[in-house]
Amino acid sequence: MTDSDLQAAVSAGVMSAEAEHRALLQSIVEVARAIFSARAASIFLHDEEADELVFEAVAGEGSDSLVGTRFPSSTGVAGWVLVTRQPLVIDDLEQDPRHARETAESTGYVPKAMMTVPLLHDERALGVLNVLDRSQEVEFSLGQMELLGLFANQAAIALDLLQRARHARAVLTRSGSDAGIIARIASALEGLDEEQREPVLRLLGALDDVLRADVAF
C-alpha cells in the first residue's frame, strides 16, 4: 500500500466515523421524542470557537431544515442550561423570561413546554439536549428526569466523538502532503515486532494526549 493509498484510507475512515456519530445523535433524538411522546427533540453542539449553539440533530418539528442552524450560545433556555450546567423543565414557556420567543419563531416552531439538559463530558459542557412539548398525559417525575439524563449521557459521548472525528479531519486537511508522514508511520508499524513497537506506540500515545488537549481548548 502506497502512502497516498493509506492516507486516503485514513481520510475515508475519519469521514465514516463522523457519519456514524451523527447517525447516533439522530437516533438519540428520535428515541427521546418517541419515549416522551414529544413534538420535537434536538441536540445542540456548543461551537466554542464561534461561541454558538449549532443544531446537530433534530427529530420532529424542524427536522427537515434546522440541522446546521446557529445562534449565540447565550440564547434562550438552551443557553441558560449550557452556562449553568443545570437541567431545566418548563411547562409554560410563555411565562418564563429565559424563553427566546423570537429565536423560536425564526426556526418555524414555537414550543409551549420544554425539557432541557446539559451534555457534559470530562467536565466540559459540549451542548444541550431539548425535548419540546412532551405529552402531558403523564405528570413529570423524577424517573423521567433520570431517563432524560441517560439520553444526555449517550448524547454527550456521541458529541465528544463527533468533535474528535472533525478535529482529525481538519488535521488531515491542513496537513496536505505532510499527512503522508502518518501513512509512513502506520506502514512502518506493520513491520515491527512487539518489542520494537512499544516505544513508537508510547510516542503516539503522547501525541494523542496533545491532540486531545487541543480539542479541549
Kindly report, residue by residue over 155-183, the tens digit of the pLDDT. 999 888 888 877 777 766 665 545 555 55
C-alpha cell of residue 117 = 439538559
Report yes or no on 76 lying in a domain. Answer: yes
Report yes or no on 85 lying in a domain. Answer: yes
C-alpha cell of residue 146 = 433520570
Range in 37-51, 53-67, 138-152, 168-182 with the lowest mean pLDDT: 168-182
pLDDT at residue 206 greater than cutoff 70: no
Residue located via cell numbers 433520570: 146
pLDDT at position 137: 75
pLDDT at position 187: 56
pLDDT at position 9: 45
Range in 16-20, 79-83, 119-123, 159-163 with the lowest mean pLDDT: 16-20
Report yes or no on 42 lying in a domain. Answer: yes
C-alpha span between 58 and 38 (Å, rounded): 12
- Taking CA atoms, 185 is separated from 7, 171, 173, 180, 190, in Å, by 11, 16, 18, 9, 9
Report yes or no on 185 lying in a domain. Answer: no
Q: Which is more confident, 17 or 81?
A: 81
pLDDT at position 205: 64
Total number of domains constituting the chain:
1
pLDDT at position 92: 93
Q: 53: pLDDT confidence band, cut at 50, 70 and 90?
A: very high
pLDDT at residue 197 greater than cutoff 70: no
Rg (CA), the chain: 21
Q: Name the average pLDDT for the chain.
A: 81
Which residues are CB-neighbours of 96 under 8 A, at least 6 positions away? Answer: 77, 90
Report yes or no on 180 lying in a domain. Answer: no
Question: Per residue in 28-47, pLDDT tens?
Answer: 999 999 999 999 999 999 99
Report yes or no on 194 lying in a domain. Answer: no
Q: What is the CATH number of the domain that holds 61?
A: 3.30.450.40
Read off the pTM: 0.72
Domain span at residue 66 reads 23-159
* Mean pLDDT on 148-158: 91
pLDDT at position 19: 80
Report yes or no on 187 lying in a domain. Answer: no
pLDDT at position 211: 59
Report yes or no on 183 lying in a domain. Answer: no
